[in-house]
A and B are shown apart, each in its own frame.
Chain A
Amino acid sequence: MDIFAQQILNGLVLGSVYALVALGYTMVYGILGLINFAHGEVVMIGAMTALAVVSTLLSVFPEMHPFLTILLAGLAAILVCMSLAFFIERLAYRPLRNAPRLAPLITAIGISILLQNIAMIIWGRKYKTVPQLFPTETFELFGASITSVQIFIILISAVLMSGLLVIVHFTKLGRAMRATSESQRVAGLMGINVNKIISVTFMIGAGLAAVAGILIAGNYSVVHYSMGFMLGLKAFTAAVLGGIGNLGGAVLGGLLLGLIESIGAGYIGDLTGGFLGSHYQDVFAFVVLIVVLVFRPTGLMGERVSERA
């Protein structure tokens, strides 16, 4: 087995999920200039909801086709996350739209803690295992092995990301989103309902987050009420790495971060003579972030920070 090829594959899988989550951060930042620290928790809620639906369906309709099960669970998770994001924006962020920037930021952290605790109350403090819906098949690819779940993750992410790029660049909704992110005031004067566009932006990000949560749950087979925290932080790192506010940057940043982490984790043991093990993989994300910010403060694809009135 080729270790390098294997790490690249693992990195792409991990990176796809980071990218999906990073898109949510970057879209909201692009439109509001707000870092929505509760976004990672939305991913967790997505995973938890999907698991709850899957468990229920398995016990009530044990004969149901696994595809139908996962489809229903996915739809439920997306619906829950979108509504959650809608209410978070409406109740927590919108009243602070004109407040100093620190206020919504701290509110976001508060929402994040709140959601973790709610999830803990509903789903408990223990790690929960995700039932295996499909028999895992493993394929050989360039000397590395890849499971059917991993293939699924890469495909779904690619489809969703391209879909989002098409929406943002080629539809009426996307134009309204870009116009709103350049100037809420002028967009409003052009007849765009800015509040609605902001709600929709939050909801699209949350939909992607729900899917990311399910993919992660499928890949690692466990979920936990605190799983969104580190994931959110990594995805945020990915968004900053690519240039926050830039959609292509979020995708690039996510994939790069996944690759760096995975390759780093694969070789850190050899490089340090076994002194540091692969559990140090989290260090890489943040080292990379610091290095990039030192040399390119706007991120890899970020332009100069747009002037805001």
Chain B
Amino acid sequence: MILHMPLLELTKINKNFGGVQALNDVSLTINEGEIYGLIGPNGAGKTTLFNVITGVYLPNNGRIKFDARSIVGRKPHQVATAGIARTFQNIRLFQNMTVMENVMVGMHAKTSTGSFGAIFNTKSARHEEKMIRTQSMRWLDYVGILTEADNLARNLSYGDQRRLEIARALATRPKLLALDEPAAGMNAIETEELKGLIQTIRTDGVSILLIEHDVKLIMNLCDRVAVLDYGQKIAEDVPQLVRKDPNVIQAYIGGELP
């Protein structure tokens, strides 16, 4: 079912922090409809790569093409508008807003009411507001937390907060959804449900970039996997082959091969 049309292409991305080379000539391509896994030991540069893709960090050099357009140097909100949404390793919800409002914020860029319309409550603003509510409910239903709509985000259970992050990201109508360790802290049942949700999202036409420590989840879910170590891509292939790659085993075990 994989369509081999490149959606996101990174070419020779470098990122330094002072003397530390966090990313070293990283190139990778995520195709449309793909679930692409990114693994690597702690500090390998996975989250840095996320931040470069989403416009939070500017790479020192390298090219990023998304949907056939260069997105290097764009601000995070422009990258979001272009169609990349993300969730966070440590949950970053708007804690003092309701569950519903969090999703409504996600729809911000895809709606047209400006400040003027909002302040003077024009007819089109009211109409759009209604549409935003209906859509947000759908996203909450999609990830299975509709009953929590009016609770404050900070009062949700851990697993539900992760779901809400996904709903909020989906509300931006991304072409690519980047999930930063979505299964962290989840129990086996929650992880299994998450796996189902990710598959549904892909079936509905959104490509997925997945950073995860849960190797089993990565191996079960991903079409292709890339491995980062010390800021370099040391392997990229289908999961079955990556797990047998000697470089990967060495990076994870950190020594001579058995």
Residues of A within 8 A of B (CB): 167, 171-176, 178-179, 182-183, 185-194, 196, 200, 204, 306
Contacts and interface: CB of A to CB of B under 8 A. Distances in A.
Nearest to A163: B119
Nearest to B165: A186
A194 B75 CA distance: 10
Contacts of A182: 94-97
Given A175-B97, A193-B77, A186 B92 contact: yes
Contacts of B138: none
B81 interface: yes
B104 A190 contact: no
Interface string B156-181: 00000000000010001000000000
A172 B125 contact: yes
A196 B77 CA distance: 11
Contact of A190 (B95, B96, B109, B125): B109
Given A178-B97, A192-B77, A187 B119 contact: no
A191 B108 contact: yes
26 contacts: A171-B118, A171-B119, A171-B125, A172-B125, A172-B128, A175-B105, A176-B105, A179-B97, A182-B95, A182-B97, A183-B92, A185-B92, A187-B105, A188-B76, A188-B80, A189-B54, A189-B80, A189-B86, A190-B105, A190-B108, A191-B81, A191-B106, A191-B172, A192-B109, A193-B75, A194-B77
Interface string B219-248: 000000000000000000000000000000
Given A189-B86, A192-B108, A167 B119 contact: yes
A172 B119 CA distance: 9
Contacts, number: 90
B69 interface: no
Contacts of B85: 189-190
A196 B118 CA distance: 14
A79 to B, nearest CB: 14
What is the predominant secondary structure among interface residues of chain B facing chain A?
Answer: helix
A124 to B, nearest CB: 35
Contacts of A306: 96
Contacts of A171: 113, 118-119, 121, 125, 129
B111 A172 contact: yes
Given A178-B96, A190-B109, 10 more contacts: A172-B108, A172-B125, A172-B128, A178-B97, A185-B56, A185-B76, A185-B92, A191-B81, A191-B108, A200-B115
A173 B77 contact: no
A197 to B, nearest CB: 8
Contacts of B86: 189
A228 to B, nearest CB: 25
Contacts of A167: 118-119
A191 B109 contact: yes
B115 to A, nearest CB: 5
Contacts of B132: 172
A173 to B, nearest CB: 4
Contact of A179 (B56, B94, B113): B94
Contact of A186 (B75, B94, B109): B94
Complex A-B, nearest 10 residue pairs according to Cβ-Cβ distance, in ascending order: A191-B109, A173-B118, A191-B80, A188-B76, A171-B118, A179-B105, A182-B94, A186-B92, A188-B77, A200-B115
Interface string B86-106: 101000101111000100111
Nearest to B111: A172
A185 B172 CA distance: 16
Contacts of A176: 105, 108
A309 B77 CA distance: 19
B104 A175 contact: yes
A126 B81 CA distance: 53
A196 B114 CA distance: 11
Contacts of A196: 115
A210 to B, nearest CB: 15
B110 interface: yes
A174 B118 contact: yes
Nearest to A309: B92
Nearest to A201: B115
Task: Give the most central of B86, B88, B119, B125: most A CB within 10 Å.
Answer: B119
